[in-house]
Structure 1
């Protein structure tokens, strides 16, 4: 790889980043192209993503039959399948206990639809983020027991709910845990625990979202049912018809798009485009999408609306919407979620403005600061994680956003997002061990915490000191990897099609990023709330560009002022009123005159 910061001579972009052009071995590239018969650009992009010539075909066209996990390799998978089939046969009351995000909602809907095919209806329980927090609680399990539940299945939660599972055992409430989150070596005592990330699981599918684990569980149930010689009237369900839910959960949980996940999403998007799920169809109509056929539609149009209930409203709405077959009910639920999403965006904008101002002051007062900690009274715990992510993306620093007071209880709640190379979960866990905060933890890129409001400033100081050890890693996080250099004249629909052939794009399968040298922004204008739309002109060709959420940034202001800039971004095909055209989505800009 070339030395960092040398692409176009850019040592520091207008967002404070440096650009590095990814390199491939030209001899290896020629061999790759000869072996696969693919265009040079596609070969180069595949090589940069670690794809070999032998695996190129399966990467570009992943098939479920080649990548689908063997259910028997998961600890407790077939045991759980058998217990659920027993419950169906005995007409026992089964309740699914789901997390309040998209992964939890899709997981619960998959189980509900499977049970309905057998003529059984599952109960549903989704905890309230404000009142109950994340995952099962002893109180929730006692409530379900009192309501007549014979069996509870937790999805996308439960693996770490030790106190709740102990209470379930005490009150003789059988619980099957279906989860995917990391857990320790000590396993809680429960009826069955399906989690590819439990210490003794050797399936190798720890990267599955909960929806993926549940989808494999449905396959296991069909397998066990065939072995027992049982089936509902009309035969066993074709679970492939519900692959749209599996794909949606996988995408919205940011699970890496490799092997099975890649096939789930590639095939699931095709099913999603058919509009067979009444809930997704209604939500897409309200969102003005038309046909849901892309990762963008699923992740950035449907996902936020489905999450809105768990963030600022009724946490049950998404799970109900995805499970219903009633068109009228689906429309009503979709309208509620869309309204809550509008409310969420308004609350987010208010918190983001205040938190950004705090971040700017911290950086101004401490230019070498390696973490941002912002806090405010009444900042909703369902929104602070989104805001932390926005600020992290803007300043390229690990960010923690904390809300307290005004109906949020006596304890402040915080959410963290980090940059590559800085393990924010470990830092928060250490703060908890040292008594700086009450509780907290997470993983490398995200975390959560609780802290006494009067201790927020002390925690901020502790984090600033602790994060000093990550200065080198933080600097590396400022590197922006560029796949290639592009001229505006080369940005054609044919090129877009070549790039799209590498999809689906997502976590672990990044969309290609290209750099454009020295263009003048023409006709810049603000669209939406703070997006910048303009035409990039290099003197010989022009290219339509959009820079999301950039109007109030230094980069956006440089473009609006018409200064010559270098750009880094992604090529997208855009269709409007039947006209197809290429659009460049800018992710960074640098002054051309100073380089």
Structure 2
């Protein structure tokens, strides 16, 4: 890994902010690095408020979307809420459908089958709507590129409202309303909402016409916070406000489905990391292994006993997902070695029997070993389907767009995308993708980076500092957990490894005359020799809490150590 110390902001700005907030300079430094340089900005950052949410009607077409839904209700039309099968899609469908059902009964949900229909709006879904008398479809977390499908629905007298957050193509679907803050002609002040976030703006607009405030809608924010965490959108602006209040709902009064999943987590309160690594994978497992409908059933169930039954089924899907993930990752790593492809700029692997539901996870796992843009292909019907994942700073969506002549369809973000391709185009696409990445990626992007916020001394690690850092939460992209760097550290006694394969490192460290502090390094077990015999070393770490036997202590979560 390469260690990069973030550039220091202007000293005068840092000093002024430190004085205004009565904090140490290095705390003010962390804030200025996050774009916070005044007392008022810091107040908004440390005290998120629902009043900071923007007027939903600032979003292009929101007035049209609300008018069409209100007309459908007035005319007693059937409304179908349609969404993708991942966490963002299933939470969005659960949110909008449960809100509408709170005052209008003729609402149903539809999640496409990952294997039979694939990503996004499907002809099968539109046929289902037509056969069952639905005249309005609200599509969430998908649809921005569904030109032909929306036209197909229009021919069947079915209207569409698109609520998406993916990048539009050159042409927009001919829907009644297209809500997407990334539309070139949309002046909404915040572009980085997830699909469920756009869904929340829709119910916020519907609610405002009924005299409801944002505070009245907080019970829905457990879903929004879960989607924000899972979809890895920037933890800034509205996302940070929605996640902050959503975590409060999760910790105090979540819907029964979330409550049933939260029971898997022993610690309290639950933070955004728990949502990312415990809640989100379980919700995702439904669509990966069984069907995304299972997630919607769980998240819209208001009987706790029934929700617990759904949650236990989803736990079984998740266990099976983990088993597949391990097996396919190992097969992919073996394929890379056998094909002698370790010196490429990309990783592109294919095996026709790999489970389509876990190839995205496998792509992420491969990046941990071979750090470069990665595509994992499997067979899906008469085509090949792939999930793409990228490395920091490299836009894999743009790279795919440059190779789109070989693709059947594709969509996604800078760091994650999906695509399908005809088998005969696979060799040419693989070569073109490698060439495009080689031409556009910067050499340093191929080495994993640890970005360090500041160098500090162990004497700076105080209960006051930890209390301040807790107020930086919730963490996420563009508001990462602060990473610190310290030198001349020694282990005070007997460093040890932990885990089934001794993969983790456990230390008790000090610096100069500072008090000792516990430290844990996940995956750093092989580096234990650097810490033996009280040899000095340097570390990049986050300041964390350890809860054990009812006692909470401060500890260092080591990211990396060096001599």
Per the alignment, residue 130 of structure 1 pairs with 115
1:535 and 2:507 equivalent?
Answer: yes
Query: Is the CA contact 1:138–1:165 (under 8 Å) kept in the aligned structure 2?
Result: no
SS at match of 1:332: helix
Per the alignment, residue 386 of structure 2 pairs with 414
Query: Is the CA contact 1:524–1:562 (under 8 Å) kept in the aligned structure 2?
Result: no
Paired residue for 1:204, among 189, 197, 214?
A: 189
Per the alignment, residue 6 of structure 1 pairs with none
Work out the CA distance in 2 between the residues paired with 1:279 and 1:89. 31
Per the alignment, residue 400 of structure 1 pairs with 375
Query: By how many angstroms is 1:172 displaced?
Result: 0.6
Query: By how many angstroms is 1:534 displaced?
Result: 0.8
Per the alignment, residue 466 of structure 2 pairs with 496
Query: Is the CA contact 2:60–2:179 (under 8 Å) kept in the aligned structure 1?
Result: yes
> Structure 1 residues 38 and 491, CA, compared in 2 at 3 Å: closer, same or farther?
closer
Q: Which digits, 9 at most, give the CA deviation of each residue in 1:405-452, with x for residues without a partner?
A: xxx43322221111233221122222232x3x5444543222223334
SS at match of 2:225: helix
> Structure 1 residues 276 and 426, CA, compared in 2 at 3 Å: closer, same or farther?
closer
1:585 and 2:557 equivalent?
Answer: yes
Query: Is the CA contact 2:204–2:214 (under 8 Å) kept in the aligned structure 1?
Result: no
Work out the CA distance in 1 between the residues paired with 2:309 and 2:372. 41
Work out the CA distance in 2 between the residues paired with 1:533 and 1:198. 47
1:64 and 2:50 equivalent?
Answer: yes
1:426 and 2:398 equivalent?
Answer: yes
Work out the CA distance in 2 between the residues paired with 1:318 and 1:219. 23
SS at match of 1:429: helix
Moved over 6 A (4+): none
Alignment of 1:445-484 (within 5 A): 445-453=415-423, 456-475=426-445, 478-484=448-454
Query: By how many angstroms is 1:482 displaced?
Result: 0.6
Paired residue for 2:161, among 156, 173, 176?
A: 176
Query: By how many angstroms is 1:507 displaced?
Result: 1.6
Per the alignment, residue 570 of structure 1 pairs with 542
Per the alignment, residue 107 of structure 1 pairs with 92
Query: By how many angstroms is 1:169 displaced?
Result: 0.4
Per the alignment, residue 146 of structure 1 pairs with 131
Alignment of 1:520-559 (within 5 A): 522-527=494-499, 531-538=503-510, 541-548=515-522, 550=523, 555-559=524-528
> Structure 1 residues 201 and 43, CA, compared in 2 at 3 Å: closer, same or farther?
same
Query: Is the CA contact 1:94–1:123 (under 8 Å) kept in the aligned structure 2?
Result: yes
Per the alignment, residue 386 of structure 1 pairs with 361
Paired residue for 1:239, among 193, 213, 217?
A: 217
Paired residue for 2:179, among 194, 207, 212?
A: 194
Q: Which digits, 9 at most, give the CA deviation of each residue in 1:75-101, with x for residues without a partner?
A: 221221232233334433211111111
Paired residue for 2:5, among 7, 10, 20?
A: 20
**RMSD of aligned residue pairs (Cα, Å):** 2.7
Query: Is the CA contact 1:24–1:48 (under 8 Å) kept in the aligned structure 2?
Result: yes
Q: Which digits, 9 at most, give the CA deviation of each residue in 1:189-224, with x for residues without a partner?
A: 122222222232111322111222121211211222
Query: Is the CA contact 1:370–1:474 (under 8 Å) kept in the aligned structure 2?
Result: no
Structure with more contact order per residue of length (Cα contacts < 8 Å, sep ≥ 6): 1
Q: Which digits, 9 at most, give the CA deviation of each residue in 1:536-569, with x for residues without a partner?
A: 4347654333333x2xxxx541237856553222
Structure 2 unaligned runs (5+)?
Answer: none
Query: By how many angstroms is 1:48 displaced?
Result: 1.5
Query: By how many angstroms is 1:518 displaced?
Result: 5.0
Per the alignment, residue 516 of structure 1 pairs with 486
Paired residue for 1:219, among 178, 183, 204?
A: 204
SS at match of 1:57: helix
Query: By how many angstroms is 1:118 displaced?
Result: 1.1
SS at match of 1:587: strand
SS at match of 1:559: helix
> Structure 1 residues 95 and 81, CA, compared in 2 at 3 Å: closer, same or farther?
same
> Structure 1 residues 426 and 73, CA, compared in 2 at 3 Å: closer, same or farther?
same
Q: TM-score, normalised by structure 2?
A: 0.91
> Structure 1 residues 145 and 337, CA, compared in 2 at 3 Å: closer, same or farther?
same
> Structure 1 residues 125 and 438, CA, compared in 2 at 3 Å: closer, same or farther?
closer
1:252 and 2:230 equivalent?
Answer: yes
SS at match of 1:205: coil
Structure 1 unaligned runs (5+)?
Answer: 1-15
Paired residue for 1:340, among 308, 317, 336?
A: 317
Query: By how many angstroms is 1:303 displaced?
Result: 0.6
Work out the CA distance in 2 between the residues paired with 1:396 and 1:480. 13
Query: Is the CA contact 2:509–2:516 (under 8 Å) kept in the aligned structure 1?
Result: yes
